[in-house]
A = this chain, B = another copy of it.
Amino acid sequence: MVGVVGGGQLARMMQQAAIGLGVELRVLAQRPDDPAARVTPGTVIGDHHDFEALKAFAAGCDVLTFDHEHVPTDFLHELEAAGVAVRPGPDALVYAQDKGLMRQRLSALGLPCPQWALISSADDLADFGATVGFPFVLKATRGGYDGRGVWVVDDLDAAKAVLDGAAERGVALLAEAKVPFVRELSAQVARSPHGQAAAYPVVESLQIDGICREVYVPAPGLSEVAAVEAQRIALTIAKELGVTGMLAVEMFETADGSVLINELAMRPHNSGHWSMDGAVTGQFEQHLRAVLDLPLGQVKPVAPVVVMANVLGLDLPEVYPAYKHVMAHDPGVKVHMYGKDVKPGRKIGHVNVLGTVFDDVADRARHAAAYLRGEIDE
């Protein structure tokens, strides 16, 4: 039995894959109407910040894995010490949880990062601003996703204001140069405890306000050399950090065609949802195989072009009435909804479209996503 901490849509989609593999999933969710709780029998309602609840939950599982990266690292160390197979383990997961540690480790490995510095004082801010110039980016080293805990500061005063606010809340800061990227890429790999690894095609990810909106597979116009290099980086990180399960390495592509690592996620990732319909082995099935130490599945795409478009909540309170139009308009669109209440800007689902011509596939995915959120009505 695989235990998943967190009841969000990632755990929900793990349940979908678990059904086919005949693997029993157990979810620890905070609320009974969480996306995964709605579709997984035996869901345990509990808080991952409550060590006793977490420990009790883990006791019945063969493997413990995650829908998110917010479980305190020390809890995971205790569970591991108690014999629980935590995958990915805390020694790896900490690099997804703490951006400061991540930058230190990646730089020590000689992997390409934007200029960065850990910030403890206003002097640190001034030094960094003097080195890289303004604007630059400040990030909380822990917590934060989908754009939260990230600030772009235009001058030293703005930077100090963020530092003061962070200090009040006990949040440590990391400064990074603001990269003039031409686009964002994501390289996903799976790795098992045996050390077997598989690299998915490198994808392009369109982000707006820090939230993923669309993913193009493969990344259009990316040279073979650049794609292999991005995969090599991701495989290296997985191996060196001892990651098991899925690893997503988000990267910036700069004007000269080189890449800089942006963030790591050690779980199935938004940039991999395309694989649920577009690859021989979807990321959720692959994650389960990997954490169960089963041989990995084939990663190749089943169509020349795949585009995923996120469905973000807008004004339309109910998505289901939009199904008739979307499905009638395009019988080939694959709809994936998360069972979440609609709130503006919230990720409530995604659509995948497979095809052969990029512009056509992208148009189809955008149309479906826009209609499902109520952005367009024809």
Contact = CB atoms under 8 A, between A and B. Distances in A.
Interface in A1-27: 12-13, 15-16, 18-22, 24
Interface stretch (A67-75, A88-96, A242-250, A330-338): A330-338
A39 B26 CA distance: 10
A169 B329 CA distance: 53
Contacts of A39: 15, 18-19, 40-41
Interface stretch (A52-60, A78-86, A104-112, A317-325): A317-325
A280 B324 contact: no
A295 interface: yes
A132 interface: no
Listed from nearest, the 3 A-B pairs whose CB atoms lie closest are: A22-B337, A295-B328, A295-B327
A281 interface: yes
20 contacts: A15-B19, A16-B16, A16-B20, A20-B337, A21-B335, A22-B335, A22-B336, A22-B338, A22-B349, A24-B38, A24-B339, A39-B40, A41-B41, A41-B43, A280-B354, A295-B324, A297-B331, A298-B331, A298-B332, A302-B303
Interface residues of A, number: 43
Contacts of A15: 19, 39
A367 interface: no
A167 interface: no
A297 B351 CA distance: 14
Contacts of A303: 302
Copies per complex? Answer: 2
A346 B297 CA distance: 27
A328 B335 CA distance: 31
A357 to B, nearest CB: 16
A296 interface: yes
B332 A280 contact: yes
Nearest to A42: B41
Contacts of A332: 280, 297-298
Nearest to A329: B295
Contact of A327 (B13, B294, B319): B294
A287 interface: no
A316 B12 CA distance: 31
A339 B1 CA distance: 12
Contacts of A354: 280, 302
Given A296-B331, A298-B331, A327-B297, A40 B41 contact: yes
A302 B356 CA distance: 12
